Amino acid sequence: MSQRATIQDIARHSGVSTATVDRVINGRGGVKLAKERVVLETARQLGDRRRLIAPHARLARIAVVTQPPGNLFHAALQDSFRSIMPAYREQNIACFEHHSPLAHPERSAALIRALSHNYDGLALCLPDHPAIRQAVTEAGQKLPIVTIASDITSPGRLAYIGSDNYRAGRIAADMMGRLLGPRTGRVALIAGTMHYIGHQQRHRGFMAALDERYAALCATPARECLENDDRAADAVHALLQEHRDIVGIYHFSTGADAIARLLEKLALPERLVFITHELTLHRASLLKSGMIDLVLDQNPLLEARMALSTLCHHLGRSPAPLDGPLIPLCMHTRETI
């Protein structure tokens, strides 16, 4: 249909009143988000070329839930949402920051249920704990939910936005083997918590590639540091005491800085290959100094953009989301920063 589609045409095809259509396409507000989405989608299907994406009189509120900012990756993710919000001013979408500590999944579940009553969409970077999974399933019946960086196995979520964590683990194993060359020994594995699907996938990918390609290397069972810097360093120290043949560390959680300090104290960085995730400012300096050999980065800014784009499209406020949802990984050495 041409651009001459009328309000009556849109109302008839979308099953709402002409008054509702008029309010939506003229930005007068007072229309529930679900009806607004139907009207805008119908108008696009009818070929209406009017500027139907904006203005939106009703503010769409998105809750972004991460760990507290003591975790540098989660702090960077929240910073990314704040920095890209101005790009969504025309769609009248705003993000609101919420934190939930890792040690209390039941509180996270309660928070998700509470937010589902007051927000129009959720972006979650949380573990795949049964209580959280159930809350996502329930809340997903009311509003769109995207998971970021690590997925949640619930039919209630709309999309996963993040990198391929299994492939990240395989890349880490391949680079570990290449950097170690002919050396034999063990690789110490340090996780945050295996309740994070992303950590499970990194571990599985690392072990698969190590078994396939590097018979001279084996890995310790993954030690969980519960996303605590000191515990990460303590876990590495305990493994070094337990196994005298450790030649590498693959760390896929928070605490890389504390591990680097430990290695420096023990005068071990020259002997070990150290691979970790997430390029923070401090880890960039540790790369330059040689304390860390490789950092795999998943680009939290791009993840935030993709998450908002996906939610914006689902809410009927943009014609199509950005390409994705998998975010490409970047490998950093001392020569790339």
What architecture (CATH level 2) is domain 60-161+300-329? Answer: 3-Layer(aba) Sandwich (3.40)
Beta bridge partners of 148: 161
> What is the Cα–Cα distance from 20 to 34, expressed in whole angstroms?
12
Instruction: Report the pLDDT value the prediction gives residue 21, as an integer from 0 to 100.
Output: 80
Q: In which residue ranges of the chain is CATH 1.10.260.40 found?
A: 1-58
Q: In what order do the strands lie in the sheet with 159-161?
A: 93-99, 60-66, 121-124, 145-148, 159-161
Q: Looking at residue 54, what is its pLDDT? A: 44
pLDDT in tens, the chain (337 residues): 345 678 888 888 888 888 888 777 776 666 777 777 788 778 777 765 554 544 556 789 999 999 999 999 999 999 999 999 998 888 889 999 999 999 999 999 999 999 999 999 999 999 999 999 999 999 999 999 999 999 999 999 999 999 999 999 999 999 999 999 999 999 999 999 999 999 999 999 999 999 999 999 999 999 999 999 999 999 999 999 999 999 999 999 889 999 999 999 998 867 899 999 999 999 999 999 999 999 999 999 999 999 999 999 888 887 766 666 688 999 999 999 8
For CA atoms 117, 123, 127, 234, give the dihedral sign. Answer: negative
In the chain, residues under CATH classification 3.40.50.2300 are 60-161+300-329, 165-297
Q: What is the pTM of this model?
A: 0.83
CB 85 within 8 A of CB 33: no
Note whether 93 and 317 are within 8 A (CB).
Answer: yes
**Alpha carbons 18 and 243: distance in angstroms, whole number:** 74
Q: What is the CATH number of domain 1-58?
A: 1.10.260.40
Sequence-separated (6 or more) residues with CB below 8 Å from residue 220? 186, 187, 188, 189, 239, 243, 246
The CATH code belonging to domain 165-297 is 3.40.50.2300
